[in-house]
Chains A and B, each alone.
Chain A
Amino acid sequence: EVQLVESGGGLIKPGGSLRLSCAASGFTFSNAWMTWVRQAPGTGPEWVGLIKSETSGGAIDYAAPVKGRFTISRDDSKNTLYLQMNSLKTEDTAVYYCVHGSGWLDAWGKGTTVTVSS
């Protein structure tokens, strides 16, 4: 069974940094393309970015609102996905989900909440 467990969320002031982690199990993580999706309160999901598997070149792509501020990375030896978030803004407040897949998104973690507020 695919399991994705996010951690690292919390309350942070504008301009601050936070690193989210996602521990993956139940599938061959090193072969997987992985995605981060966020959802602000009362809104639909929003794609944040994806990272391809190393065997597919490991390319990374980001949504425009986070490009240059967020960095997605992976450690295949630890079956872990990361999202480094810098220069956080109030509009980054959301639940952040780690997701298996890059087109249709077939397995989601429970999410971790990030609140950016002074």
Chain B
Amino acid sequence: EIVMTQSPATLSVSPGERATLSCRASQSVSSNLAWYQQKPGQAPRLLIYDTSTRVTGLPARFSGSGSGTEFTLSISSPQSEDSAFYYCQQYNIRPLTFGGGTKVEIK
């Protein structure tokens, strides 16, 4: 199975400071990569799919990039409501696999 590795484990940023989250796949997943946000007590919520396509209504401060094995989720000017865990997930090959997550804290 494809192993997804996220870094850093925790990211603490000030409001307005760019947040950059990384996700690495153990083998190429092409562009078949999604990002999810999860807040305490809630289910994960899809943010981005196909590496860079934002779901309807997602603020433009969220953007995704990358291909193959290296991917990035950027939050250009984080707001307090962006405090959450973020997970990447590959869907190039089953089993679908998720990264271990990055906890984003807004100072």
Contact = CB atoms under 8 A, between A and B. Distances in A.
Nearest to B53: A104
Contacts of B99: 44
B100 A104 contact: no
Contacts of B49: 103-104, 106
Interface residues of A, number: 21
A81 to B, nearest CB: 15
A93 B5 CA distance: 23
A117 B32 CA distance: 37
Majority SS of interface residues in chain B? loop
Contacts of A35: 96
A89 interface: no
B95 A64 contact: yes
A107 B46 CA distance: 7
Name the interface size band of chain B: 20 to 34
Contacts, number: 53
Interface stretch (A7-15, A18-26, A69-77, A108-116): A108-116
A47 B97 contact: yes
B104 to A, nearest CB: 15
B91 interface: yes
Given A44-B100, A63-B95, A108 B34 contact: no
Given A47-B96, A97-B44, 14 more contacts: A43-B100, A44-B87, A44-B99, A44-B100, A45-B87, A47-B95, A63-B95, A64-B1, A105-B36, A106-B46, A107-B46, A108-B43, A108-B45, A110-B42
